[in-house]
Amino acid sequence: MTDLDAANAGSFSIGGQTPVNRLGYGAMRVTGPGIWGPPADKAGALRTLERLPELGVDFIDTADSYGPDVSEELLAEALHPYRSHSGGLFIATKAGLTRPGPDRWIPSGKPDYLIAQAKKSLRKLRVEQIDLWQLHRIDPRVPAGEQFGAVKALLDEGLIKYAGLSEVSVAEIKAAAKVFPVATVQNRYNLADREHEDVLDYCAAQGIGFIPWYPLAAGDLAKPGSPLAAIAEARGATPSQIALAWILKRSPVMLPIPGTSQVAHLEENVAAADIDLSDAEFAAIDRASKSFTA
């Protein structure tokens, strides 16, 4: 056992009611190549998942399309009935993308499909209510209002406790919020890709959790001589740990979910919860990031 604890990153209350440790875990990588089929090392993937509650990681994000179904099934096999050393685990899943093959993702937002997939996730995860269910994509071929209506139906039936969106604009969040309470937004965000700064700021103002997927990407910022690399070297940390610490400091609504299928990498990620960047370090990385992404 180690002293690693994701709780050191602080907490955020989903929907203003349910606290989770801000440093979470994304369960996409416990599948096969192309996010398709079972993992090459199932035993190793299960060991990684089993390590999560021991490290204080109580917020876990998956999706019906990861595998498909594989990620949800492995989570249930490894962690059901979802207990941590401090209480319960909070499991988030998603639907709205179909998988015709490896690395292929096609939106499907028909209400009947979304509701059926949510019910299937209930069975795969072995739960009576999904903690957080997210519309994985807004399907441009289906009226958005119909998709939001399906989400509301899931909430009204008690099949899901909270609802979120993924890869959306501020305008889309506002439109959805007229139909159901938006608890979280999951958009791609990292030091090398800050396209959704306006969405993050809106979420912060509204108390909506912001789940940045692909949070460890740093691109050229991780090269020797960059501020990120220099701070990492000075602190005896890796550039990815500093990038994760920066994301955590960026906003109190930030809920990063770095994913891996390896215990050692998981522990390395959780160690970032102990890195408290100074304001000067944060500003230096921020300036460098904006210059690279401008």
Domain harbouring 100, CATH code = 3.20.20.100
The reply to whether 116 falls in a domain is yes
Domain that holds residue 15: 6-218+253-259
Just list the catalytic residues.
66
Give the tokens for residue 122: 């209930």
Half-sphere exposure at residue 147, Cβ-oriented, CA atoms within 13 angstroms: 27
In one letter, which amino acid is 95?
A
The per-residue pLDDT for 1 is 38
| Per-residue model confidence (pLDDT) at position 86 | 65
Q: Are strands 87-88 and 83-84 parallel, antiparallel or unpaired?
A: antiparallel
> Residues 6 or more apart from 249 whose CB is under 8 A from it?
276, 277, 282
Q: How many domains does the chain have?
A: 1
Structural domain includes residue 76: yes
- The length of the chain is 294
- Helices 239-250 + 263-271 axis angle, to 10: 50
Does residue 27 sit within a domain?
A: yes
Q: Could you tell me if residue 266 is inside a domain?
A: no
Residues 267, 276: Cα–Cα separation, whole Å: 17
Would you tell me how many other CB atoms lie within 10 Å of the CB of residue 236? 7
pLDDT single digits (tens) 51-65: 999 999 999 999 999
293 part of a folded domain: no
What does the pLDDT read at residue 292?
65
- Do the domain assignments include residue 286? no
Low-confidence ranges of the chain (pLDDT < 70): 1-2, 85-86, 292-294
pLDDT of residue 87: 72
Closest C-alpha among 111, 80, 112, 75 to residue 93? 75
Q: Which of 132, 183, 130, 232 is nearest to 15 (CA)?
A: 183
Cis, bond preceding 68 (omega within 30 deg of 0): yes
Q: How far apart are CA 104 and CA 182, in angstroms?
A: 27
Any domain includes 112: yes
pLDDT of residue 66: 98
Does a structural domain hold residue 289? no
